[in-house]
Amino acid sequence: MMTDVLPRSIVKTSGHLILLLLLVSLFFATPAFSITKSDGDKITIMLNEECVNLNKDKLAGLLASRLASDGETSLSPEMFKIMEGVIKRTDFDGIAEEKSVEIIGLVSEAYKRGAPLEYLDEIFDVAYVNTISVDQMYAAGNALREFHDSDVPQDVYEEFVYHSIENGWDPAILPVMTRGLIYGTDRGLDAGRVALIIMLDVKNGELKNKTPEQLVLNSIKLVREKEPAKWKPMSVVEKEMAAKHNKKEDLESTRRRLEQDMQQKERAMAKAETELKELREYPDAKLSPTERTKIDRDMEEMIKSFQTELAKFQQNHTNVVAELAKLGDEMKQENARKERDRQEKRERELSRNREQVEAYGKKGRLNRDKLNASVARYLGTPYRFGGDSERGIDCSAFTRRVYRDQGVELPRNSRAQARVSKSYGYNNVKTGDLIFFDTSITGTISHVGVYLGNNQFSHASSSRGVTKSSLREKYYAKRFVKAGRIFLE
């Protein structure tokens, strides 16, 4: 049963000529990578535009070396976007030039393998403090995409993905564990409990004697025994989708087998045709005319047989591809319907949350003593992607906890928090305001803190944990998007 469903300005040219010349000379000096003046200009502009803390000359050299070692032949738009986005974040977080370029390589390779950029954007800062491979980055990005398209709560799945990296899971098992957690949640079980049991079982070495699928099923079974009343059997639609997914896997296996068979037959036929041509051009003098005629006839029959078999394989392949396309369209439509329903549900929840926040904001007042006490309690807490405790916390969990102490329940992520608060500009920030930053590859709000007054704000920094910073510092002012006010009085 499990296999059925476990199936993201113009630069001032004066004073920057040296940087441009360095970039161009470094790139041209390496035969494996050639860069046009246009690309050199783009990189120069980008480095001058994005770097406040990072050393532009050093970074230019490291980028040149990295691209050359990767065997790049040109600077693709995707690679430039990744370079720009990662440097934007690492400059914001004060990460060294060497680490910045290493992360660019990780994100780039994971993206080339097919991981979605918007989710790689969410996860790559875990590489600041963790040793992470391209395989892990790729698996984590894909897992975040699958979880985003599910009903597993964000705080649960982010902790789950981070745990897989922190504890060095084999990247090959993460898709199975991801789909298992989604399956258990779909069946009505508590997502946090299912995730915890899976994580504990992996940590306790259960994979030594079980397949990943068996571990997941046993974990779900254990949770189901603890909360039997919550269990929801699969609906008719879910069963149909599971069956289609299973059929799709079978068809894809058949397609691959047919393609292998066709290639084998094509090679055999080409070999037979070559041999026949050689026999006719260079007849064996030891053979009689009758023998040569028989061999010629036999070879022609063999080639015709290959052609007949190949035609059958091609027709079967055409039929399988057509069936796959039809099935894929049906599944795509059903998934699109589910995603519309899920988005509508999320929008309703966000709308209710906004109404609650606005109502409280109109009648309540900011308690500055509580604000300062809340921030003081978390100062020094390490950053943890998906973390929501004093052991480790991320930026939106930190601001949510600060405002929970004010009696206000904010949404879980920074973009949603921006949507439920009233917007103000940089020059109108007041104590208690949420302040939002763009530190992303995809150009969206990706970081949040809380303003304390006197140009100070507190936030969970990816590199330093919960800390206080000055909003007047250039790299914070540069990334500022807006302030979000909760208490309107």
Q: Are residues 92 and 169 in the same domain?
A: no
Domain boundary among 112, 136, 168: 112
Residue 36 lies in a domain: yes
- Radius of gyration of the chain, Cα coordinates, nearest whole angstrom: 29
Residue 447 lies in a domain: yes
Residues 383 and 128: their CA atoms lie apart, in Å, by 10
Q: Are residues 246 and 226 in the same domain?
A: no
pTM of the model: 0.79
**Residues tagged active-site:** 395, 447, 459
Write out the residue range of the structural domain in which residue 29 sits: 8-112
CB 415 within 8 A of CB 435: no
Residues 134 and 28: their CA atoms lie apart, in Å, by 28
Residues 302 and 276: their CA atoms lie apart, in Å, by 10
Q: Are residues 253 and 220 in the same domain?
A: no
Residue 351 lies in a domain: no
How many Cβ atoms from other residues are within 10 Å of residue 388's Cβ?
19
Structure tokens given for 288: 């009689």
Of 266, 268, 249, nearest in space to 320 by CA: 249
- Residue 130: pLDDT band (50, 70, 90) is confident
Q: Could you tell me what percent of the chain has a pLDDT over 90?
A: 70
Residue 358 lies in a domain: no
Residue 434: which residues within 8 A CB-CB, separation 6 or more? 399, 417, 418, 421, 448, 449, 450, 451, 483, 484, 485, 486
- Residue 70: pLDDT band (50, 70, 90) is low
Q: Are residues 208 and 143 in the same domain?
A: yes
Q: Is 310 exposed, middle or buried (0-12, 13-18, 19+ CB in 10 A)?
A: middle
Mean pLDDT for 466-486 is 93
Of 434, 427, 430, 440, nearest in space to 458 by CA: 434
One-letter amino acid at 484 equals G
Orientation of helix 368-378 relative to helix 395-404, angle to 10°: 140
Domain boundary among 208, 233, 258: 233
Residues 145 and 150: their CA atoms lie apart, in Å, by 9
Q: Are residues 35 and 100 in the same domain?
A: yes
Give the tens place of pLDDT for each residue, 260-294. 999 999 999 999 999 888 888 888 888 888 888 89
Residues 43 and 48: their CA atoms lie apart, in Å, by 9
Give the tens place of pLDDT for each residue, 183-223. 999 999 999 999 999 999 999 999 999 999 999 999 999 99
Give the tens place of pLDDT for each residue, 85-107. 999 999 999 899 999 999 999 99
How many domains is the chain built from?
A: 4
Give residue 182's pLDDT: 96
Strand partners, 447: 437
- CA end-to-end span of the chain: 56
Orientation of helix 97-112 relative to helix 56-69, angle to 10°: 40
- Give the CB-side neighbour count of residue 95, counting CA atoms within 13 A: 24
**What are the helix (H) ranges across 70-113?**
77-93, 97-112
Q: Are residues 23 and 43 in the same domain?
A: yes
Strand blocks (E) in 34-168 = none
- How many H-runs (helices) and E-runs (strands) does the chain carry? 18, 8
In the predicted structure, residue 479 carries a pLDDT above the cut 80: yes
In the predicted structure, residue 378 carries a pLDDT above the cut 60: yes
Give residue 33's pLDDT: 45
Collapsed DSSP state (helix, strand, coil) of residue 230: helix
Residues 155 and 139: their CA atoms lie apart, in Å, by 18
Domain boundary among 87, 112, 137: 112
Strand partners, 435: 449, 483
Of 169, 112, 103, nearest in space to 136 by CA: 169
